[in-house]
Amino acid sequence: MRMLINRNIPYRQRQQLTQEVIEVMTLKSYMVLDGLTSIGLISIFYLYFRGIL
């Protein structure tokens, strides 16, 4: 990470880069959470219907 952020890159540009990285990370984590939630719901519904039938 320290290799990526060089001294010669201007401060504002570096800040923007960090912001973009943070945004991408949060987006990815939200997608993962969304996926886990849908998997959980599907498994619950599956077990529920299996229990009824």
pLDDT tens-place string over residues 20-40: 999 999 999 999 999 999 999
Taking the model in full, what pTM does it have?
Answer: 0.49
Percent above pLDDT 90 for the chain: 38
Whether the CA torsion 12, 17, 22, 24 is positive or negative: it is: positive
Interval 41-47 mean pLDDT:
90
Whether the CA torsion 45, 51, 52, 53 is positive or negative: it is: positive
- Yes or no: say if 21 and 13 are a contact pair by the CB < 8 Å rule: no
pLDDT at 9: 66
pLDDT at 4: 57
pLDDT at 3: 56
